[in-house]
Amino acid sequence: MLTQIQKRDGRIVDFDEEKITEAIFKAAKAVGGQNRETAQALTLQVLEQLQKLYSERVFTVEEVQDVVERVLIENGHARTAKAYILYRAQRTRIREAKSDLMDAVAEILKETSRENANVSNSPSAKMLQIASAASKKYYLSRVVPEIYAKAHRDGKIHIHDLDFYAKTLTCIHIPLKELLLKGFDNGHGYIRPPKRPASATALAAIILQSSQNDMHGGQSFAFFDRDLAPFVAYAGEEETYQAMEAFIYNLNSMHSRAGAQVPFSSINLGTDTSDAGRKVIRNLLLAYEKGLGRGENPIFPNVIFRLKKGVNFLPEDPNYDLFQLALRVAGKRMNPTFSFMDAPFNSAFGDEVAYMGCRTRVISNIHGPEKSDGRGNLSFTSINLPRLALEAKGDPEIFFQSLDETMELAAEQLYHRYQIQARLKVRDMPFLMGQGLYLGSEGLGPDDPIEPAVKHGTLTIGFIGLAETLTSLTGKHHGEDQDSQALGLAIVSRMRRFTDLMTEEYQLNFSLLATPAEGLSGRFVAIDREKYGVLPGVTDKEYYTNSFHLPVSFPISSFEKIALEGPYHQYCNGGHISYVEMASPPGDNTESMETIIRQMADSGVGYAGINFPIDFCTSCAYQGVIHDDCCPRCGGPGIRRVRRITGYFSTVDRFNDAKRAELRQRISHF
């Protein structure tokens, strides 16, 4: 007798034949059928076959579904069978998503995910990670069209910040001066304009925090010096210094996103030549140089010093002394990094171009003013370049064909996401849109869609692993062979031409990003290694090399590295960065630092930094390169190791396994 059935979780429950009838009827309705009697007749055939096949044991749900499919096909109901199969596949994906989610939750409860090194290990961080895991499963199974979801799951593309797919945007350059002059409301009442430096910087920190709670990516002040200048004009040096010190303290202690992290903050400065602007630059750098309370290296903000001839780049320039100070601070703290306003792709905009610590660059605008303030990246999706090379089996023609198809897929997916983002309401991002931070949001009401604002943002296609891609295609990466370098430039320039075409086709700001891969660097290679095995120079590490960078373990001088990577900056209009590595802090050796920076400027670099280890003993406050597990001065075991990861700082204990492997293999370029 057909009385019991085994569920997928192993439970034995009562068998209900009416569920078979209902499933067949729903599948028939999906293709235009409306006859329940036919569904009942087909159910009887299903029951007969079940009786023949499973008369001596309890059958499973999967076995019943197999019989239903067979009966439908045998009786000429091919369209109904197809609808039933599709429904069954969808239900399977949903069940698998639920199962994967429970596994993810269990893992998070043991240890907070290290996908993002800025997320802490606090209870609130764990709750954020659980919500993130649930959101990702939901969007992949219910919202993202299957063609894009499958490409993401298979590791062909990576949809960044998938957990926020339909809820918010990535990042913004905040118009600080505008907010401070008019005041703002972050949800608990009106905050009037400040009058003194300390109030201005306190509110600046609150603005970053409030905006971060509306977004998942970086928060930046594009003109920190210019915007704060009016509020320090009548203050002395000491008062201004205290305000800047408090600002840095706040950004390393004020939490956002349910208390899980401090804001991803970046500030751009260096080109305001007014007395007040110079005062802001000078005291911010001095406060950053001093560090936190016991001299610890600040993690935030990312400080980005703009360089421009006629302003600060040459000895006769009015802010050249501040450039020298920036070099001194960078030699001790790794920040500031440096952006080059005279790079060929930046020079047309004067000193308007701003960057974020993660490398994001937003400037061109098909819908309005070409400026950084009030604009940011909406979302980005990265392409697994090494996968395309592996599939091409060394054939560049096949590779380029696959690249074009994958770029098209990524553009379509970004547009799908944009359509969802554009329908969001102002009230969904009450501070970001409600207070007019985003260009085009001025005058919108709480229930208005945000499309008039987000059309000014960027949709970005990124890439990872150019070095491994070239090794797969030619046997050598771009640091080893001139032909490989030429092929690398051909690949990246082709991608840039494609994003330019997409800008015209969609009438939206598409751009190309040298992806700041953190969690992604290990995800892609793990998928590819399982499929293709361990291939020397391609899948033999725990990570793929970031964007167009040379492999971190490749022995090369700093000048050669800069010369090889510099040409790629012109194509990556959505963001780019190059680094050189030192074995130890250069300290006061500003002359060598300046030589490196000038080489970067001569090589067409748009944004760059100089990396080195920064270790700190939490017991006695000793600072230097500490090779052992204990302090060389006091013997204490508490060593805080700060390193740069995908543009911003973190302590090594928060690095994921892939990034730790990369860190171990970094070598000095000097």
pLDDT, one tens digit per residue, over 409-435 is 999 999 999 999 999 999 999 999 999
Tokens coding 569: 């900056």
Helix (H, G, I), strand (E, B) or coil at 651: strand
Mean pLDDT of the chain: 92
CA distance 641 to 656: 14
CB of 602 within 8 A of CB of 565? no
pLDDT tens profile 465-499: 999 999 999 999 999 999 999 999 999 999 999 99
CB of 305 within 8 A of CB of 338? yes
Mean pLDDT along residues 645-650: 85
Q: What structural domains does the chain harbor?
A: 4-84 (no CATH), 172-349 (no CATH), 377-665 (3.20.70.20)
pLDDT tens profile 195-246: 999 999 999 999 999 999 999 999 999 999 999 999 999 999 999 999 999 9
Compute the C-alpha angle 202/352/350, nearest 5°.
Answer: 145
Q: What type of residue is 149?
A: A
pTM confidence score:
0.84
Helix (H, G, I), strand (E, B) or coil at 379: strand
DSSP letters along 54-114, please?
STTS-EEHHHHHHHHHHHHHHTT-HHHHHHHHHHHHHHHHHHHHHHHHHHHHHHHHHS---
H/E stretch holding 250 = helix 237-251
pLDDT level of residue 125 (50, 70, 90 thresholds):
low
Of 37-46, 289-298, 333-342, the range with the lowest mean pLDDT is 37-46
